[in-house]
């Protein structure tokens, strides 16, 4: 039965290895002992210097004195219980002739003694168990929270979003139209290549052309006599008249900020055109090879 706890401990240890590469105990302590941290200052105000130095006996607070009385009462009750159990165990040992039996061993006795020591009050009035909880809250709790908040703030500053934005319906429609336009281009060019192998054709191949006119950036796939399609995007605006009322309410861009958004949209559209054009070319080639 001891194999299962050992396996779980090993699994937890292995899971903690990647985390140690990013956050160490010293990082947590440094984040927790930040002098500007208000939560740690609040703990010191409420519980006293025991938060910063758990074994200190100076500047006791009312809470510390109350816990001194409470822990003393618990310790007295523990002593009475320990004496009762100890005397009963001694009597049973005298009758049975052996000290450890029925599953009792040295580890069990050490667990009882260590558990009793954890409830004995220290010079500050707090017991060791309570000091461990205070240490966990003041160092591990506050330090870990500060690191997480700092990481979240850095990610937001780098442009990450708190929520995953779903792909807009218009983006799906535009991607489908661009893919169909690219398929038309490569299919027409492949057909013209096949025709030119047997006869001479004056029909030029399909090609892309782009222009910026009336504040719109347009990419057209055509050969002069036929057109596979075109896609356009607004590239000028002041951030108010180019947005709907709802979009402007949630994203009130000024003119300079809106120009940055338009530049990013144009770059994204160019990337979409290149990627979908490559995918369409591979599809047409694979289709012709299979035929």
188, pLDDT greater than 50 = yes
With beta carbons less than 8 A apart as the criterion, state whether 233 and 265 touch.
yes
Decide if 139 is inside a domain.
yes
Residues 133 and 182 in one domain: no
Mean pLDDT along residues 241-261: 59
21, pLDDT greater than 60 = no
Convert the pLDDT of each residue in 209-242 to its tens digit.
988 888 788 999 998 888 999 998 876 655 444 5
Decide if 112 is inside a domain.
yes
Q: Which domain holds residue 149?
A: 22-157
Residue 209 has phi, psi (to 5 degrees) of: -140, 140
Decide if 12 is inside a domain.
no
Convert the pLDDT of each residue in 32-86 to its tens digit.
888 788 888 888 788 777 777 777 665 567 777 787 888 888 888 888 887 887 7
Residues 97 and 219 in one domain: no
What pLDDT, on a 0 to 100 scale, did the predictor assign at position 29?
Answer: 81
Decide if 8 is inside a domain.
no
What pLDDT, on a 0 to 100 scale, did the predictor assign at position 7?
Answer: 47
How far, in Å, CA of 52 to CA of 67, rounded?
18
91, pLDDT greater than 80 = no
With beta carbons less than 8 A apart as the criterion, state whether 142 and 29 touch.
no
Q: For the chain, what is the domain count?
A: 2
What pLDDT, on a 0 to 100 scale, did the predictor assign at position 185?
Answer: 93
Residues 131 and 179 in one domain: no
How far, in Å, CA of 128 to CA of 113, rounded?
13
Decide if 3 is inside a domain.
no
How far, in Å, CA of 271 to CA of 281, rounded?
15
Band (12; pLDDT cuts 50, 70, 90) = very low
Residues 235 and 270 in one domain: yes
What pLDDT, on a 0 to 100 scale, did the predictor assign at position 1?
Answer: 44
253, pLDDT greater than 50 = yes
Decide if 28 is inside a domain.
yes
180, pLDDT greater than 90 = yes
Per-residue CA distances from 147 to 27, 28, 40, 41, 258 (Å):
8, 7, 14, 17, 33
**269 or 3, which is more confident?**
269
Convert the pLDDT of each residue in 118-158 to its tens digit.
888 877 778 888 888 888 888 888 888 888 888 888 888 77
What pLDDT, on a 0 to 100 scale, did the predictor assign at position 283?
Answer: 93
Residues 91 and 149 in one domain: yes
Mean pLDDT along residues 13-17: 46
């Amino acid at each position: 039965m001891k194999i299962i706890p050992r396996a779980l401990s090993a699994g937890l240890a292995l899971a903690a290895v990647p985390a140690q590469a990013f956050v160490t105990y010293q990082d947590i302590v440094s984040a927790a002992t930040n002098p500007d941290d208000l939560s740690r200052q609040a703990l010191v105000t409420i519980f006293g210097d025991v938060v910063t130095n758990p074994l200190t006996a100076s500047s006791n607070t009312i809470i510390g004195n109350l816990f001194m009385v409470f822990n003393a009462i618990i310790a007295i009750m523990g002593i009475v219980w320990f004496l009762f159990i100890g005397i009963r165990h001694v009597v049973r040992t005298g009758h049975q002739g052996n000290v450890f039996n029925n599953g009792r061993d040295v580890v069990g006795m050490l667990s009882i003694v260590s558990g009793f020591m954890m409830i004995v009050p220290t010079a500050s009035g707090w017991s060791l168990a309570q000091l461990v909880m205070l240490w966990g809250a003041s160092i591990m709790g506050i330090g870990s929270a500060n690191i997480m908040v700092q990481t979240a703030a850095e990610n937001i500053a780098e442009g990450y979003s708190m929520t995953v934005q779903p792909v807009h319906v218009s983006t799906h429609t535009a991607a489908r139209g661009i893919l169909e336009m690219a398929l038309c281009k490569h299919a027409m060019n492949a057909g013209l290549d096949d025709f030119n192998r047997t006869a001479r054709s004056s029909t030029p191949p399909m090609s892309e052309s782009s222009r910026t006119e009336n504040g719109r950036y347009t990419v057209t796939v055509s050969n002069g006599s036929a057109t596979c399609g075109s896609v356009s995007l607004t590239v000028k605006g002041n951030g108010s008249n180019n947005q709907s009322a709802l979009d402007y309410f949630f994203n009130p861009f000024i003119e300079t900020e809106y120009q940055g958004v338009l530049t990013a949209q144009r770059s994204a559209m160019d990337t979409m055109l290149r990627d979908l054009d490559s995918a369409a070319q591979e599809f047409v080639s694979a289709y012709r090879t299979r035929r």
